[in-house]
Structure formats: C-alpha cells, structure tokens
Structure 1
Amino acid sequence: MPVSLSPCSLPAGERDAGSLREFYFNEWATSMNSKPERDVEKAYPLPEFIAKLRRLADALEQGERFEIQIAGERISVPVRAIFNIEHEREGESEEIEFQIKWENPQ
C-alpha cells in the first residue's frame, strides 16, 4: 500500500539522518492507523450535558451501542465498553470523571 508522506516539518538544523528517519516513520505509522490519537476535553452547557447523560443511560439500560459527538467527531461506544468513575483531588481542586473505555479491534 503506497503511503503519501507530507513534506518534512523539522527545522533545517534538525534534519540529520536519524531525525528524518524518525519523522518519516512516525508519519508512516500515523497513516497506517485509521484513527489518529486524540485527547480532547469539551465543556457543554448543562442542558446539553444532561441530554448526553440521559442518552447514555438509555443506551446502557437497553444494552445498545451508544453514539455521541464530541468536539466535532462522531464516536460509537460499543456495548462491551467498561464504565468507571474516577475521583481526583489536588489541593483545593476536585474532579469527578465518568469514564468509558474500550479497545478497538485491529
């Protein structure tokens, strides 16, 4: 499968053979992965957040796949996903995270 590589964005002073090899390997590896890595945190107005939680609860109760759009990307959560709740405290700051985790088949 031919791979189209983008022009090297390394600064000219960092374009030694090892750096170029690593740059193009990373480009190739990313192109082979159908979904690029992503780490997004998106705030929603309370009514939208409630609606998303309600749809999630309905899908869980019905044993169905859950579809959600987060920051412009549509995500499909499989029924086999694992659900957990995490609590973090650091100084005066506290956070609760409702987490949904799964592995995509290769």
Structure 2
Amino acid sequence: MFDLKTIHYNDQGLIPAVVQDMDSKRVLMVAWMNEESLMITLREKRTCFWSRSRKCLWRKGETSGHVQHVVSIEADCDEDTLLIQVHKDGPACHMGTDSCFDQHLVYEEGKEGY
C-alpha cells in the first residue's frame, strides 16, 4: 500500500494513470490525474481524471455511461505513475473502441523505421 503523501506529481501537479481492464489485463487508456481527481476516484471508486485540454475534472462515463469501476490502484516504484485496475461498463476510448490502444505499428523487415 502506498502513502498518498509520497505521490510525485509533475510540475503541473499531474500524475499519469494507466487504466487496465482487471479481467483481460489489457491496457485501456492513459490519462492524467491531479490530487483532487485522485481523491474523487478513491472516494467514489470510479475513475475521475484531469482534462489537460479542457482544464477541468473529467469523470469517465459521466456523459457516455461507460463508467470504469475501480478495483485497485497501485503506484510504480518511483511513485510517479499510477496503475488503475477497473471493471468497465463499455468502451474505454472516445472513438468507441474497447481500448485507446488500437493503432498498430508494424515493423516490416528490410525497411527503415516503422
């Protein structure tokens, strides 16, 4: 168990949160949290993030109904990234896909780069 006082937020007061499906272990998304959104997430047991573009709190599923129910939250060894395991009520991505990680980069033998 980690101590909330030891979390390392960046210069903007944010910490990245990797959201993972508890059952499949698939990474669903990466979002940002500030101290307030982390506290809301802990209290409500539903993910709440900080929207860097809109500069406001963002409760996942508030408008779409695709809520993420928090099962566990872990900090990495440097306490500067969070792993949030969830049970989800629908797609994680705003594009309607199960995960935000559906863009595949394929390396072709004999070609430079990807």
Q: Calculate the TM-score normalised by the size of structure 1.
A: 0.28
Higher relative contact order (CA 8 A, sep 6+): 2
* Higher strand proportion: 2
* Higher helix proportion: 1
Structure of larger gyration radius: 1
Q: Calculate the TM-score normalised by the size of structure 2.
A: 0.27
